Structure 1
């Protein structure tokens, strides 16, 4: 048997005779909800909830910034109740960023970074916890991930009275999965993909070239259907999701802007590089069609 034939046979044997269990791959890759790092208190006027980060959230701002955060819930098509943080301060801001966060964090841990991002970019921010994360009900799953993003987006449009073209979808790590899925269904102002992954199998088995029927998170096949401008960000030394994932997603998106490949950056430290915030400014102020 020729070497190439043996390689093909070995691949098929591993897939069909020793198939991975998609749910296990999904759980290993994506869903590690931390212990909740925030509490929600009843609001005196009965409207929404009062958001309070716990000590484990490491809140980095004062009480005045905390008062700018609204918290409320919305119901998904899978009948889960997910919680949302809203940092909508000024109607004069042109864009609102809907942020889909990474794996092992919740809204409490994200609250300081989102506050920084809102202040720095002069954008409103809207972020949500996936089913099974933080105060959200249910259990994490791929189906819930997509339903959570859709519900959060509809909630954002209705609550803030926005049009899709005023919203930037931002996904980080596993958050790029629902972001890409949602971006194929709505035409928004723009899309930011921060350390995206091609699919679950391509993470677990890096030599995987094709999307198999049992694969999870097949973002590489969906990216070609995004009609909005896309900015891809990835660290060259990402030890969790290799930069080849970001590069291939970039190639698939039909309307990309100049990507940001951050030299020396890993999976969780891109935000520490000054070039990161500089590139976001350029994307919002120059790359978007209505900038």
Structure 2
């Protein structure tokens, strides 16, 4: 005797609702408008109750942070923070306390800007954050504190177009323009040479960093360092294993059906091919390159093997032969310091003066890894402090 129909209703519903939602999500994601909202999540922010023109809320000293805007080549206005290092702030505290707080319509007239521009030894970290939120959301202020509280490094952080108070709508080309505008401002307005600038990104920001690095490498411009934290090789590759918030799958359920996976990957409009871009940066290097990848072993959003792919592509560009996966693994093993907790440091050196370093740290997850000592040490190495 067959069970009553109502006994099947609950199991079917339990399975059918999530499947239906997933199919709807995938179909909507095929349209660029929805896809970019899913990818960048730029509308998810706390501007309703946080005034990002008052950085003191996040523990910064009065006028340690100057909020201002950058202009891009395509006419967008990009909201930015210039963050002074506390040791510099301490020396000029009286002058900075007297500065008008809040958003600056002309940052070049501020005392904080002069402390950057007039210092012939000033070093600057340009910081590209991940998706969602705004310049001061979540862990980001704490990561700025990590970089500036006890160092002499200035930080320039931006909100990409469509994020926070910035104008426009995000896209791959657009975010490249935003990142390039930050570098152009640093070099041509603040007067900081590329040799004293590090470009650094986390998550989505690693893709922006890679694109910006390639953009300027094509012009023969080499930075003090390029640092990627929790990076990924390309967006189509990432989405085949990515889980939003650590548990919401994107394309990973389709991996069992490769043709279907490739079909949906073909609809991805912003490819963000960081592995290819970094290999190009390496091949264009004429003088010096410090390229660092940092990933946490317990990152549940972007798996740490994505940084392995970035290392392979970048380090592979220094070789004069094509190595398959097995040969490259053997080559890398000879250049790797393995730790007993399963983490490691791999270092590849090449001519003219190229150092490519991958570090897997045990903790930090996807976001808190930004506060890891590994990040601060990477900044120091990029600026050559390990050679002093």
Q: With structure 1 as the length reference, what TM-score do the two structures score?
A: 0.76
* 1:71 alignment partner, one of 67, 82, 93: 67
Deviation at 1:38, TM superposition (A): 4.9
**3-state SS of paired residue (2:150):** helix
Other-structure match for 2:273: 218
Q: CA deviation at 1:113?
A: 2.9
> Displacement of 1:78 after TM fit?
2.4
Match for residue 46 of structure 2 among 3, 13, 35: 35
Shift of 1:25: 4.5
Structure 1 runs not aligned, ≥5 long: 1-17, 41-50
Asked if residue 174 in structure 1 is aligned to residue 204 in structure 2, the reply is: yes
Instruction: Give the one of 140, 143, 165 matched to 2:173.
Output: 143
Query: CA contact under 8 A between 1:38 and 1:107: conserved in structure 2?
Result: no
Structure 2 equivalent of residue 257 of structure 1: 356
State the SS of the aligned residue for 1:82.
strand
What is the total number of aligned residue pairs between the two structures?
A: 256
C-alpha spacing 1:84/1:264, structure 2 compared with 1 (3 Å):
closer
Measure the CA separation in 1 of the matches of 2:313 and 2:267.
20
Which residue in the other structure is 2:134 paired with? 106
Consecutive unaligned residues in structure 2, runs of 5 or more: 1-26, 85-114, 217-221, 242-254, 316-353
**Aligned-partner Cα distance in 2 for 1:60–1:258:** 33
State the Cα distance separating 1:175 from its structure 2 match: 0.6
Residue of 297, 300, 308 corresponding to 1:247: 308
- Residues 272 and 115 (structure 1 numbering): CA distance in 2 closer, same or farther, change over 3 Å? closer
Among 149, 154, 165, the alignment partner of 1:124 is: 154
The C-alpha deviation readout for 1:138-192, integer Å capped at 9, x for no partner, is 1222221111111111112122111111110001110111110111122211100
Q: Identify the residue that residue 52 of structure 1 maps to in structure 2.
A: 54
CA contact (8 A) 2:364 2:370 kept: no
Task: For 1:21 and 1:100, locate their aligned partners in 2 and report how far apart those are by CA, in whole Å.
Answer: 27
CA contact (8 A) 1:26 1:200 kept: no
Deviations 1:179-221 (A, max 9, x none): 1011112221110001111111112113689996956211121
SS at match of 1:248: helix
Residues 87-96 or 240-249, more deviating? 87-96
Separation in 1 of the partners of 2:171 and 2:65? 27
Cα 1:148–1:273 shift into 2, 3 Å: closer
Cα gap change, 1:122/1:260 in structure 2, threshold over 3 Å: closer, same or farther? Answer: farther
The aligned residue for residue 232 of structure 1 is: 293
Quote the Cα distance in structure 2 between the aligned partners of 1:257 and 1:120. Answer: 26
Residue 265 of structure 1: CA displacement?
3.6
Structure 1 match to 2:91: none
SS at 1:66 equivalent: coil
Please give the alpha-carbon distance, in whole angstroms, between the structure 2 residues aligned to 1:250 and 1:66.
Answer: 41
Of residues 191, 196, 208, the one that matches 1:161 is 191
**Most deviating of 89-98 and 187-196:** 89-98
Structural RMSD (CA): 3.0
* Corresponding residue number in structure 2 for 1:8: none
Deviation at 1:69, TM superposition (A): 1.5
Change (3 A) 1:185 1:276: closer
Cα distance, 1:272 vs. partner?
4.6
Q: Distance in 2 between matches of 1:164 and 1:277?
A: 19
Partner of 2:78: 82
Which residue does the alignment assign to 1:204? 239
